[in-house]
Amino acid sequence: MSNREVVILSVGGVRFVTRASTLQQFPESRLARMLNDDDQEFKLVNGEFFVDRDGTLFAYIMDFLRTLQVSLPTDFSDYQRLQREAEFYGLYPLADLLSQEHLLKPRLEILEVRFSLQEMQAFFRIFGSCSTTVETLSEQITVFAGQQSGQSWNSPFPSQKPLVPLPLERPSHHDLVFQCGTDYSAGDQFVARYVSIKPDNRKLINGTNVLGLLLDTLLKDGFRLISTRTVSSEEKVECYSFERMRRPPGLTVRVSQTPGSSGAAQAKRSQAQKGK
In this prediction, residue 251 carries a pLDDT of 62
**Closest C-alpha among 262, 271, 270, 245 to residue 27:** 262
Q: What is the mean pLDDT of residues 107-118?
A: 92
Q: How far apart (Å, rounded) are the C-alpha atoms in residues 94 and 179?
A: 49
Residues 123 and 45 grouped into a single domain = no
pLDDT band at 234 (very low <50, low <70, confident <90, very high): confident
In this prediction, residue 267 carries a pLDDT of 40
Q: Of 15 and 4, which is predicted with more confidence?
A: 15
Cβ-contact 83, 99 below 8 angstroms: yes
Residues 124 and 233 grouped into a single domain = yes
- Asked, for residue 190, whether it belongs to a domain, the answer is yes
- Asked, for residue 265, whether it belongs to a domain, the answer is no
Question: Given a cut of 90, is residue 174 above it in pLDDT?
Answer: yes
Residue 164: give the domain boundaries. 110-151+158-244
- Asked, for residue 130, whether it belongs to a domain, the answer is yes
- Asked, for residue 191, whether it belongs to a domain, the answer is yes
Residues 117 and 224 grouped into a single domain = yes
Q: What is the pTM of this model?
A: 0.60
pLDDT single digits (tens) 180-194: 998 866 556 778 899
pLDDT band at 100 (very low <50, low <70, confident <90, very high): confident
Residues 79 and 178 grouped into a single domain = no
Residues 208 and 176 grouped into a single domain = yes
Residues 124 and 100 grouped into a single domain = no
Count of structural domains within the chain: 2
**How many other CB atoms are found less than 10 A from the CB of residue 205?**
20
In this prediction, residue 269 carries a pLDDT of 40
- Asked, for residue 75, whether it belongs to a domain, the answer is yes
The overall average pLDDT reported for the chain is 82
pLDDT band at 220 (very low <50, low <70, confident <90, very high): very high
pLDDT single digits (tens) 68-93: 988 888 778 888 999 999 999 999 99
Q: How far apart (Å, rounded) are the C-alpha atoms in residues 11 and 18?
A: 13
Residues 163 and 93 grouped into a single domain = no
Q: Which of 37-51, 121-135, 182-196, 225-239 has the lowest mean pLDDT?
A: 182-196
Work out the angle between the directed axes of helices 55-67 and 79-88 (0-180°, nearest 10): 70
Q: CA-CA-CA-CA torsion for 167, 168, 173, 174, nearest 10 degrees?
A: -170
- Asked, for residue 83, whether it belongs to a domain, the answer is yes
Residues 237 and 119 grouped into a single domain = yes
Residues 118 and 238 grouped into a single domain = yes
In this prediction, residue 191 carries a pLDDT of 84
In this prediction, residue 258 carries a pLDDT of 41
- Asked, for residue 188, whether it belongs to a domain, the answer is yes
Residues 128 and 28 grouped into a single domain = no
Residues 38 and 129 grouped into a single domain = no
- Asked, for residue 189, whether it belongs to a domain, the answer is yes
Residues 179 and 89 grouped into a single domain = no
